[in-house]
Amino acid sequence: MSSHREAPEISKDPVADSTDVYAFVSPDKPDTVTLIANYIPLQEPAGGPNFYEFGDDVLYEIHVDNDGDAVADITYQFRFETKLTTPDSFLYNTGPISSLHDPNWNSKQFYKVTRVERHGSHVLAGKLACPPCNVGILSTPDYEAKLGRHAVHSLAHGIKVFAGQRAEEFYVDLGSIFDLGNLRPLQQFNVFAKAHGLKSAPGVNASNRLNVHSIAIQVPISHLTRHGHPTIGVWTSASRQRARVHADAETEHFVSGPFTQVSRLGNPLFNEVIVPLGDKDRWNRTRPGSDKHFAKYVKHPELAGLLPVLYPGAFPHLAALDKARTARADLEAILLTGIPSGIIKGFTNFTGKVQADMLRLNTSIPPTPASSKKFSILGLIGGDPAGFPNGRRVTDDVVTIELRAIAGATVPLVDPKYVVDAVVPDVTDGLTGTSVKNKPLTAFPYLGVPYDGYHNPS
Amino acid sequence: MSRRSVLRSAAGASVAGIAVTALAGTAGPAFAAATRPAAPAARGEATEATDTGPAEQVVVHLRDARSGEIDVFRGTSHTRVRDPELAARLVRASR
């Protein structure tokens, strides 16, 4: 998945597991940027009685680099605190929850947002209420009207924040992709699927009707960019205090020491698909500024070598490229530095020579209206410069974009003589935004209404 | 009722008591002399910007008994100590 359970250590710590990062110029408020970091993957909506919540002991951060050194110039920190209304009840709620302060809601979460800059920090707001999880029609009736919408908090200077459960909008055919690299639409060519007699089939969205926990902040562009430098690099991280003494019969857990990073995420699928298993945990512990050590995996991605093996005869030019050990400068640009000007007419999101996995957003490129013919879920490779890898919008088909890029679609950016294999325009896991039941909202926080536990699963 | 406050009040002194006593009882001035503050966090590093209230418990991690390298975690701080004598005492105490 984008970054769900993508590394051995963090897969065992879902509360701190970042799953997706989005960064885009807000379509309905184009003088602002919306930054979203999702955590706690693959939430089964009926997962009571201890429904999902952020970690009180986790430091969640969204970082922005605005001068190209891959070091955060601005960081938004989010700290959560859980308060029990009725500690002697085992129930999440003791009646219908009709407001964010309803006494029937037993386990409430509140949070504080702090902006950290080079020369100091200040708290933007505290005691902000999260919405409850969408338990079901009896417990959380009229969820969005009574709860979700009220959890959008407007702060000073045009900033909005939201933190809480949302519908998973990332779509991926997980069950097929991790079954020996099978892509259902192309499985008639997959060496293993062919042996099973499988024919071309539509994709299956493995993350449909599941929820995540989202941290979203909408900020005026002027709060994030440096004069004359409209491109920002964005990533999220989760950190835990270094020492933890587990409880025994006499004591409770105790944590101590400075926070240390346990999870991070910039570009979708970077740690998931690019970084090998033996290095994934280390990658999660390091900062983007050290990513030159991981650049070798981008230059020679394992998947580019696997595709011609899994789909014999379908990728002859990619196979030749891989055999020649040609470094993938196209992928280095897309994932590690941004695309310099002069490569794609009228477009750049280059942040400098420092190689770092950051989601790069050129904030001077206006959002493409969803109703426009120019809008494409394939983003830049679909001719829409407002989409991935220029930041990432909620509906962007990042799986297909990255699959095609790795398959060679973007090699001509750096080698105009390279001929892209004929099959590449058909490479996809066969999903689009229509594969997601609860659609994104048209306004902040953009992610859809979380699925409720009464109807999901059904 | 805050979950943090529940944990804090329930935690008591058992774990911390051992660690703090170990430090206070054996380290003395030598410990103080050997102590150096943890390096300040670089820009962009994960440091919580706000105070977390009084730190009542301390966790000591003997990294290397031979060199006497000891990590001390208190609140949100980390101090690296090099004190072979204290390290030896901790090892003896743990047997």
Q: Are B15 and A251 an interchain contact pair (Cβ–Cβ within 8 Å)?
A: yes
pLDDT at B52 over 80: no
User: Please, where are the H alpha helices in A242-324?
Assistant: 280-285, 295-299, 302-310, 316-323
Global ipTM: 0.83
CA distance A126 to A58: 16
Q: Which chain A residues contact residue B1 at CB under 8 A? A: 83-84, 87
A243 class by beta-carbon count within 10 Å (0-12 exposed, 13-18 middle, 19+ buried): buried
- For chain B, the residues whose C-beta falls within 8 A of a C-beta of chain A are 1-4, 6-7, 10-12, 14-16, 38, 41-50, 55, 57-59, 61, 71, 73-78
Tokens 């699959």, residue located: A403
pLDDT at A293 over 70: yes
Cα dihedral A155, A160, A164, A167, rounded to 10, equals 160
Number of CB pairs < 8 Å for A and B? 100
Rounded to the nearest angstrom, the gap between the alpha carbon of residue A6 and the centroid of all alpha carbons in its chain is 12
**Residue of B11, B50, B78 lying closest to A251 (CB–CB):** B11
Q: Which chain A residues contact residue B14 at CB under 8 A? A: 250-251
**pLDDT tens, residue by residue, A234-251:** 999 999 999 999 999 988
CA distance B94 to A217: 49
Quick one: pLDDT band at residue B47, thresholds 50, 70, 90? low
How many percent of chain A have pLDDT more than 70?
100
**pLDDT tens, residue by residue, B14-33:** 333 334 333 333 333 333 33
CA distance A382 to A363: 19
pLDDT at A301 over 70: yes
What pLDDT sits at residue B74? 94
**Residue of A241, A287, A289 lying closest to B76 (CB–CB):** A241
Report, as an integer, the average pLDDT of A208-231.
97
What pLDDT sits at residue B39? 42
Quick one: pLDDT band at residue B9, thresholds 50, 70, 90? very low
Q: Are A241 and B73 an interchain contact pair (Cβ–Cβ within 8 Å)?
A: yes
Report, as an integer, the average pLDDT of A388-395.
98
pLDDT at A50 over 90: yes
Q: Are A250 and B14 an interchain contact pair (Cβ–Cβ within 8 Å)?
A: yes
Quick one: pLDDT band at residue A318, thresholds 50, 70, 90? very high
